[in-house]
Chain A
Amino acid sequence: MNEQQTLFDFMRQQSDKLAAQTLQHIGLTFISLFIAVLIGLPLGILITRRRKLSGPVLGVAGVLQTIPSIALLGFMIPVLGIGAKPAIVALLLYALLPIVRNTFTGITGVDPAVKEAAVAMGMSKWQVLFKVELPLAMPVIFAGIRTATVITVGVATLASYIAAGGLGEFIFGGISLNNTNMILAGAIPAALLAILFDFLLSRLQRLNIRKLKTATATLPLLLLLFSSFYFIPSAYGGKLTAGFTPEFMGRQDGNLGLQSKYKLKIHTIVISDAVMYKAAYENQLDVISGYSTDGRLEAYHLVVLKDDKGIFPPYYAAPVVREDALTKFPELENTLNLLSGKINDSIMTALNYRTDYLHQSPEKVAKDFLLDNGLWKPAREVNMGIVRIGSKIFGEQYILASMYSMLIKGYTDYDVATKTGLGGTKICFDALTNNQIDFYPEYTGTGLLAILKPSLKTVDSLTLSKDKTYNYVQKEFQKKYNIKWLKPIGFNNAYALMMRKKQAKDLNIKTISNLKRYLESK
């Protein structure tokens, strides 16, 4: 794991996955595009006939365009669940605006004298549409489809958040895993696809007007062909379906370990952490990769499967701080250590439950906890320098960041700037080493496996012991990055496989080995 891999090596090694993801990506793009053309073209024509509708229709399509893509995907989940369906709907909604707008502009832009001549010669409404308006508007409509294609290829990378596959799996997996090659293996093909499709469509568009009739006929066929790609890779199933985060997929203490140590073979889809628990609760997934202190564990009646072969190393949380920040803010270390040993697993789960499920704000949860433990002090409102706190993009980190913020304001003369919601380990850690934040809460396991990436043998020798892991990362971080691990907060937020309580009981699955035996039984 330690030696630097080149991008090419990575792509060759993962060529199966890369091909599958690329095909999924193309399929996803073109199914959405095909349906978007199917809806957008007639809609665009309709609003040229009923001009009063054009304002509202273009307005709604415009508003859809402004909704952030992740939010739109999020909206789809309660209605359409996870997987391809919501992804396709979301993508087609994005593709709709350029197609509808360009159809409308193209047709209204046809010379009125030509239209009048067509009518005056005795053409029917449909003849005017198909023989005059559409052929003359075609270049503009094509330009709209091109724009839609490029948008769709881009947004389709986000489809991996809701288990629809595509090149986003590599991109987001790579961000979580601090693996630049993985990010590029997803990002470069995605960019190439966008350029390639834009180029192909531009060729189609530049064809002689005469040949456009043929081009117009081939376009739907081409779209259908590309769309079919999507069904090829997803045409397999299994007894149980697992949903793993992109990060879990690529980790030694994740799916790789499950495969090498447990020999677990399960039909797996890649999904974002944000929707995974709910999907399990709604029977769309059976086994998920979660965190052992996650509040949703309680909320969605899930149970952790025992890791009987010990592949998940301890994940004790502790703040990681830049050495120069400790020098600059002498009171910082003691203040941060106020929290050490105060939060065990069950307390953390309960706190997470309040934010994730009861939707209380992390600030309120943090303040309540500090008050209950007699740690809270009112802010001093003085400014002797600003401590910058980072956090990753999930509830637990938000709570911890809030607690630290309140402690620093209450116990020291420093002010605080928080940069919460930094995407993954890579983004957070890069922010720390690049001196954009001063500290953030990290987990020993993550520090070991995602950042230090020692050899397999070293990992094996460390992961069963909490203290060994902690000591190792503390020493290495100091040496390599000049970053200090402070005292652990107390809880162990390790990776875990989990299932619905009821299903686990019915199938009599308590450990990961049980799961494996069940999957292998007929």
Chain B
Amino acid sequence: MIKVEQLSKHFGKTQAVDNISFEVKEHENLILLGTSGCGKTTTLKMINRLIEPTSGEIFIDGKDILEQPPEILRRGIGYVLQNNGLFPHYTVAENISIVPQLLKWDKKRIEKRISELLEKLHLSDDCRQMYPAELSGGQQQRVGLARALVADPAVLLMDEPFGALDNVTRSKIHAEFKVLDELKRKTIIMVTHDVQEAFELGDHICLMDKGKILQDGRPSNLLFNPANAFVQDFLQEQRLQLEFKTIKLNDIWRWLPILQKENKTKVLPADTDLWTGLEQFKFASSETITIHHDSETKSASFEQLMAAFYQYKKQQAHE
């Protein structure tokens, strides 16, 4: 869907982006991860031509992005900014309808689409006539997202979209983000410096440093097969939590015992991550949990889960 080839950007003598290539498949969610100044935002902005590359090519759907005028290109790409970038002099409804108006939709269609989005993003209809300054940070970010989604673009670019939110609001929005059907149809490139967020939302992560991609792969690849010491160090601090969140119950399926007798505990699907599995003990105070996979059902206690996790890690290290 999106293909980036040998892309470079110099600002004077600074090499902001240094000959990088990557690919994002349709409906995939790619995260550009890295510290400030690693070139991730510059890379993102080259995709909708907010920044023109020094060299290299970008294709969307097989078409070189330089083929069409930048304004037309941008109207087909959703863009969400860290500080939401809402127009302070426009109401929520007007903010959302900017792109449809540029695309010359008729009024009814715009109204209908706004109502639909407000509902999906859990914004009340009263918001319509409010100005951005009257909304909370979380609401503003939702409006920013609605504005990017309104014309249903195939591609969505997000520049630290949740960076300005507090932790509670952020995890709430993360949860909504994951289940929003609108987003499932999109090919998304998101920039973040937050490792947790990258692992939670990304199908695919490009870890960048000093303008180069150090590793490009699934979250579990980065965790268990780091390409170099930098990647390892980058994840080190939150390693345990990341591992719990990345490993699914079916990854450790073979080390779990078969269910002996029925009990009343909640049944979890096997694609649940280990973190959620472990959380059951904390909140349900049941001795074991029950996991369902295909036709098989297994159960495990806290100790049994941890033992299986340990086995899994041992095996990963040998591979």
Contact = CB atoms under 8 A, between A and B. Distances in A.
B102 A119 contact: no
Which residue, A118, A121, A210, has most C-beta atoms of chain B within 10 A?
A121
Nearest to A125: B71
Instruction: Enumerate the 7 nearest inter-chain pairs by beta-carbon distance, A residue then B residue, closest first.
Output: A117-B85, A122-B75, A122-B74, A120-B79, A113-B85, A113-B83, A209-B89
B48 interface: yes
B79 A114 contact: no
B165 interface: no
A113 B81 contact: yes
Interface of A: 111, 113-114, 116-124, 127, 131-132, 135-136, 209-210
A120 B74 contact: yes
Given A113-B81, A116-B81, A121 B74 contact: yes
A209 B88 CA distance: 10
Given A124-B71, A136-B88, A119 B83 contact: no
A304 B88 CA distance: 70
Given A113-B83, A114-B87, A132-B87, A121 B50 contact: no
Q: Is the interface of A mostly helix, strand, loop or mixed?
A: helix
A121 B89 contact: no
B121 to A, nearest CB: 17
B117 to A, nearest CB: 15
Nearest to B157: A120
Contact of A114 (B74, B86, B102): B86
Contact of B88 (A114, A120, A121): A114
A136 B89 contact: yes
A120 B87 CA distance: 13
Interface string B128-156: 00000000000000000001000000000
Given A113-B83, A116-B50, A117-B81, A123 B102 contact: yes
12 contacts: A111-B83, A111-B88, A113-B84, A113-B85, A114-B86, A118-B98, A120-B79, A121-B99, A122-B99, A132-B87, A136-B89, A209-B89
B72 interface: yes
Contacts of B84: 113, 117
A60 B263 CA distance: 87
Given A113-B81, A117-B79, A122 B86 contact: no
A117 B99 CA distance: 11
Nearest to B76: A122
B257 to A, nearest CB: 53
Contact of A120 (B50, B72, B83, B89): B50
Nearest to A115: B85
B81 A121 contact: no
Given A114-B86, A122-B71, A136-B88, 8 more contacts: A111-B88, A116-B50, A117-B79, A117-B87, A119-B74, A120-B77, A209-B89, A210-B89
A130 to B, nearest CB: 12
Contact of B85 (A116, A124, A131): A116
Given A123-B71, A123-B102, A117 B89 contact: no
A170 B36 CA distance: 67
A135 B89 contact: yes
A428 to B, nearest CB: 58
B280 to A, nearest CB: 42
A135 B147 CA distance: 20
A116 B81 CA distance: 9
Interface in B25-79: 48, 50, 71-75, 77, 79
Contacts of B72: 122
Contacts of B77: 120
Contacts of B99: 121-122
A208 to B, nearest CB: 10
A122 B76 CA distance: 8
B102 A122 contact: yes
